[in-house]
Protein backbone atom coordinates (compact mmCIF):
# COMPACT_ATOMS: atom_id res chain seq x y z
CA UNK A 1 0.00 0.00 0.00
CA UNK A 2 1.31 3.39 -0.95
CA UNK A 3 2.31 5.58 1.98
CA UNK A 4 0.46 8.84 2.36
CA UNK A 5 0.67 11.28 5.26
CA UNK A 6 -2.54 11.47 7.27
CA UNK A 7 -2.34 14.76 9.17
CA UNK A 8 -5.56 14.18 11.07
CA UNK A 9 -4.21 10.89 12.41
CA UNK A 10 -0.97 12.57 13.47
CA UNK A 11 -2.85 15.34 15.31
CA UNK A 12 -5.11 12.85 17.07
CA UNK A 13 -2.16 10.68 18.09
CA UNK A 14 -0.37 13.69 19.62
CA UNK A 15 -3.41 14.37 21.79
CA UNK A 16 -3.92 10.72 22.72
CA UNK A 17 -0.31 9.99 23.56
CA UNK A 18 -0.15 13.07 25.77
CA UNK A 19 -3.32 11.96 27.61
CA UNK A 20 -1.98 8.40 27.97
CA UNK A 21 1.12 9.80 29.65
CA UNK A 22 -1.03 11.58 32.21
CA UNK A 23 -0.84 15.08 30.80
CA UNK A 24 -4.07 17.03 30.29
CA UNK A 25 -4.07 20.23 28.25
CA UNK A 26 -5.53 21.85 31.39
CA UNK A 27 -2.31 21.02 33.26
CA UNK A 28 -0.28 22.81 30.62
CA UNK A 29 -2.68 25.76 30.57
CA UNK A 30 -2.22 26.06 34.35
CA UNK A 31 1.49 26.69 33.88
CA UNK A 32 0.81 29.29 31.20
CA UNK A 33 -1.77 30.98 33.43
CA UNK A 34 0.62 31.09 36.39
CA UNK A 35 3.40 32.54 34.24
CA UNK A 36 1.32 35.21 32.51
CA UNK A 37 -1.28 36.38 35.03
CA UNK A 38 1.10 38.90 36.58
CA UNK A 39 1.48 40.59 33.20
CA UNK A 40 -2.17 40.53 32.13
CA UNK A 41 -4.61 41.00 34.97
CA UNK A 42 -7.66 40.05 32.96
CA UNK A 43 -6.12 36.83 31.57
CA UNK A 44 -8.45 33.87 32.09
CA UNK A 45 -7.66 30.19 32.36
CA UNK A 46 -9.88 29.62 29.32
CA UNK A 47 -7.72 31.91 27.20
CA UNK A 48 -4.64 29.96 28.27
CA UNK A 49 -6.31 26.65 27.42
CA UNK A 50 -7.33 27.96 24.00
CA UNK A 51 -3.73 29.07 23.43
CA UNK A 52 -2.39 25.64 24.39
CA UNK A 53 -4.85 24.06 21.96
CA UNK A 54 -3.64 26.33 19.16
CA UNK A 55 -0.01 25.40 19.88
CA UNK A 56 -1.04 21.72 19.79
CA UNK A 57 -2.45 22.20 16.29
CA UNK A 58 1.00 22.87 14.80
CA UNK A 59 2.62 20.02 12.94
CA UNK A 60 6.11 20.69 14.39
CA UNK A 61 4.68 20.44 17.89
CA UNK A 62 2.91 17.17 17.12
CA UNK A 63 6.08 15.69 15.59
CA UNK A 64 8.10 16.59 18.69
CA UNK A 65 5.44 15.14 21.00
CA UNK A 66 5.29 11.81 19.16
CA UNK A 67 9.07 11.48 18.91
CA UNK A 68 9.71 12.43 22.52
CA UNK A 69 7.02 10.23 24.03
CA UNK A 70 8.12 7.31 21.84
CA UNK A 71 11.66 7.56 23.20
CA UNK A 72 10.36 7.85 26.77
CA UNK A 73 8.20 4.73 26.30
CA UNK A 74 11.08 2.71 24.87
CA UNK A 75 13.36 3.83 27.72
CA UNK A 76 10.68 2.77 30.21
CA UNK A 77 10.52 -0.67 28.62
CA UNK A 78 14.32 -0.92 28.48
CA UNK A 79 14.20 -1.37 24.70
CA UNK A 80 16.83 1.19 23.67
CA UNK A 81 20.39 0.14 23.00
CA UNK A 82 23.10 0.84 25.57
CA UNK A 83 24.42 3.48 26.33
CA UNK A 84 21.46 5.50 24.95
CA UNK A 85 19.13 3.45 27.17
CA UNK A 86 20.95 4.47 30.35
CA UNK A 87 21.25 8.14 29.37
CA UNK A 88 17.54 8.55 28.60
CA UNK A 89 16.38 6.29 31.44
CA UNK A 90 18.32 8.39 33.96
CA UNK A 91 17.62 11.77 32.34
CA UNK A 92 21.37 12.34 32.03
CA UNK A 93 22.17 16.03 32.46
CA UNK A 94 24.71 16.05 29.63
CA UNK A 95 22.25 14.44 27.20
CA UNK A 96 20.50 17.39 25.56
CA UNK A 97 18.39 15.94 22.73
CA UNK A 98 15.30 16.44 24.89
CA UNK A 99 15.98 20.19 25.13
CA UNK A 100 16.70 20.25 21.38
CA UNK A 101 13.29 18.79 20.49
CA UNK A 102 11.59 21.15 22.95
CA UNK A 103 13.41 24.12 21.39
CA UNK A 104 11.91 23.24 18.01
CA UNK A 105 8.48 23.80 19.56
CA UNK A 106 9.45 27.10 21.17
CA UNK A 107 11.02 28.44 17.95
CA UNK A 108 7.69 28.36 16.11
CA UNK A 109 6.39 31.10 18.40
CA UNK A 110 9.47 33.29 18.25
CA UNK A 111 12.37 33.93 20.54
CA UNK A 112 10.36 35.41 23.40
CA UNK A 113 9.30 31.87 24.34
CA UNK A 114 12.93 30.93 25.05
CA UNK A 115 13.06 32.66 28.40
CA UNK A 116 9.84 31.16 29.65
CA UNK A 117 10.99 27.73 28.56
CA UNK A 118 14.23 27.98 30.54
CA UNK A 119 12.39 29.33 33.54
CA UNK A 120 9.80 26.53 33.54
CA UNK A 121 12.56 23.95 33.12
CA UNK A 122 14.34 25.23 36.23
CA UNK A 123 11.33 25.90 38.48
CA UNK A 124 9.32 22.87 37.37
CA UNK A 125 5.84 24.15 38.20
CA UNK A 126 2.82 21.82 38.50
CA UNK A 127 2.69 18.96 36.02
CA UNK A 128 6.36 19.47 35.03
CA UNK A 129 7.36 18.62 38.58
CA UNK A 130 5.22 15.48 38.55
CA UNK A 131 6.72 14.36 35.24
CA UNK A 132 10.17 14.99 36.62
CA UNK A 133 9.65 12.67 39.59
CA UNK A 134 12.27 9.98 39.15
CA UNK A 135 11.03 7.59 41.85
CA UNK A 136 8.38 5.66 39.88
CA UNK A 137 8.62 3.32 36.88
CA UNK A 138 7.61 6.05 34.44
CA UNK A 139 10.34 7.85 32.48
CA UNK A 140 9.49 11.33 31.19
CA UNK A 141 12.93 12.52 30.10
CA UNK A 142 11.56 14.07 26.92
CA UNK A 143 8.00 14.82 28.02
CA UNK A 144 8.79 17.25 30.83
CA UNK A 145 10.72 19.45 28.41
CA UNK A 146 8.02 19.16 25.76
CA UNK A 147 5.28 20.14 28.19
CA UNK A 148 7.39 23.11 29.33
CA UNK A 149 7.91 24.11 25.70
CA UNK A 150 4.17 23.98 24.94
CA UNK A 151 3.39 26.10 28.02
CA UNK A 152 6.12 28.59 27.04
CA UNK A 153 4.84 28.75 23.45
CA UNK A 154 1.28 29.32 24.64
CA UNK A 155 2.61 32.16 26.83
CA UNK A 156 4.42 33.67 23.88
CA UNK A 157 1.29 33.43 21.76
CA UNK A 158 -0.72 35.21 24.47
CA UNK A 159 1.82 38.05 24.62
CA UNK A 160 1.42 38.56 20.86
CA UNK A 161 -2.37 38.49 21.02
CA UNK A 162 -2.67 40.77 24.02
CA UNK A 163 -0.64 43.37 22.12
CA UNK A 164 -3.10 43.06 19.23
CA UNK A 165 -6.04 43.59 21.57
CA UNK A 166 -4.40 46.65 23.08
CA UNK A 167 -3.69 48.19 19.69
CA UNK A 168 -7.16 47.44 18.39
CA UNK A 169 -8.71 49.12 21.40
CA UNK A 170 -6.24 52.00 21.41
CA UNK A 171 -5.16 51.08 24.93
CA UNK A 172 -1.76 51.51 26.51
CA UNK A 173 0.23 48.25 27.00
CA UNK A 174 1.36 47.12 30.47
CA UNK A 175 4.87 48.07 31.54
CA UNK A 176 7.29 45.43 30.22
Beta carbon nearer to a second copy, 46 or 70: 70
Binding mask 51-90 for a second copy (x = CB under 8 A): --------xx--xx-xx--xx-xx----xxxxxx-xx-xx
CA-angle at 64, arms to 136 and 55, nearest 5°: 105
CA-CA distance, 100 to 106, in Å (whole number)? 10
Q: Mark 103-138 as b/e (b = at least 16 C-beta within 10 Å).
A: bebbebbeeebbebbeebbeebebbbebbbeeeeeb
> What does the DSSP 8-state code read for residue 135?
S
Binding mask 102-141 for a second copy (x = CB under 8 A): -xx--xx-xxx-xxxxxxxxx-------------------
State the CB neighbour count (10 A cutoff) for residue 146: 27
Q: Is 176 in the site for a second copy (CB under 8 A)?
A: yes
Count of residues in contact with a second copy, rule CB under 8 A? 65
- Do 155 and 105 meet the contact criterion of CB atoms below 8 Å apart? no
Q: Is 39 helix (H, G, I), strand (E, B) or coil?
A: coil
Stretch that binds a second copy, among 21-29, 45-53, 160-168 (CB under 8 A): 160-168
For the CB of residue 110, give the shortest distance to a second copy in the complex, in Å: 4
For the CB of residue 23, give the shortest distance to a second copy in the complex, in Å: 17
Beta carbon nearer to a second copy, 30 or 91: 91
Beta carbon nearer to a second copy, 1 or 42: 1
Beta carbon nearer to a second copy, 44 or 57: 57
CA-CA distance, 156 to 113, in Å (whole number)? 5
First to last CA, the chain: 55
- Interacting residues with a second copy (CB under 8 A): 2-10, 13, 17, 59-60, 63-64, 66-67, 70-71, 73-74, 79-84, 86-87, 89-97, 99-101, 103-104, 107-108, 110-112, 114-122, 159-160, 163-164, 167, 172-173, 176
Amino acid sequence: MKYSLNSKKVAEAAHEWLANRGVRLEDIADITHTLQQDYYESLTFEECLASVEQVMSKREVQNAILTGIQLDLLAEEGKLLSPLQEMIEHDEGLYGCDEILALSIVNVYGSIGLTNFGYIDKLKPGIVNMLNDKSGPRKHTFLDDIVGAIAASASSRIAHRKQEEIENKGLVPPAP
